[in-house]
Amino acid sequence: MNDPRQTAREHLRPDEQLYWAGTSDPGKLFGPRDGFLVPFSLIWTGFVVSSLIGIPRSAGVGPELVIPVALTLVGLHLVFGRFLVKAHRKRTTVYAVTSRRAMIITPRGLREVPIGRTDRTITWSGGRRHCSVEWNAGDPRGAAALLGGAAVTRIYANTGLDGFFGPQLFAFWDVRDGDELVRALDRVAG
């Protein structure tokens, strides 16, 4: 998805106008939640790997390795893999604001919300370099409600872990031209 405007135009309805299209900044991989997740993932992985190293000496190779190996893979994803997932999403996701809806376009499909919804939060990073817009997820249902629902979804939002513990939030993350995005949202809301 090289040109966000062209990608968005391919999804327009006949009576719809495109007001803004853009992407996440692929260079912004760290966010506020990483202040906890990075040390936690390093401690987790260090603990699991050290316990895995001690197992073959004491018991040999067998079924008792399955859980430590699985936990090591989880740790490696926490340390490295989630950043690869996040970078891939930033390269392949297009955000768009039209006269009727906000759209998130990925290789897997399209998600949308009506543009008239005002239950959104706009957040600026330090120095107003990046803008993120989140729409309210509503009340969780099914497994998402059982596993913590919206709280869990928000904890892992935009970390590369989002989507593993429930649905991803409908949000535009780390947009560089945030002023243009906010102007387009204000234009259709007003």
- Per-residue pLDDT tens digits for 55-83: 655 555 666 677 878 888 888 888 888 88
* Confidence at residue 105, expressed as pLDDT on a 0 to 100 scale: 96
pTM of the model: 0.79
pLDDT above 50 (res 87) = yes
- CA 138, CA 47: separation in Å to the nearest integer? 37
Q: Are 5 and 97 in contact (CB under 8 A)?
A: no
Q: Which positions ≥6 away from 23 have C-beta within 8 Å?
A: 1, 4, 90, 93, 94, 95, 175
DSSP H helical ranges for the chain: 4-9, 34-59, 66-76, 82-92, 143-146, 149-155, 178-189
- Per-residue pLDDT tens digits for 145-176: 445 555 666 777 777 777 776 678 899 999 99
Identify residue 103 by its one-letter amino acid code. Answer: M
Length of the chain in terms of residues written: 190
